[in-house]
Amino acid sequence: MKALGRHLVADFFECSGDLNSPDMIMKALEKACTVSGATIISKTGHHFSPYGVTAVVIIAESHLAIHTWPEFKYAAVDVFTCGTTVDSQAAFLSLKDDFGSDRVELQEIHRGILTDEDLLKVTHGPKPMEVDCGV
Neighbours of 74 (CB within 10 A): 18
* Residue 91 β-bridge partners: none
Catalytic residue among 67, 88, 94, 101: 67
Catalytic residue among 15, 82, 88, 110: 82
Contacts of 33 (CB under 8 A, 6+ apart): 39, 40, 57, 59, 64, 91
63 is catalytic: no
The letter for the amino acid at 122 is V
82 is catalytic: yes
Catalytic residue among 7, 33, 62, 110: 62
Could you list the active site residues?
62, 67, 82
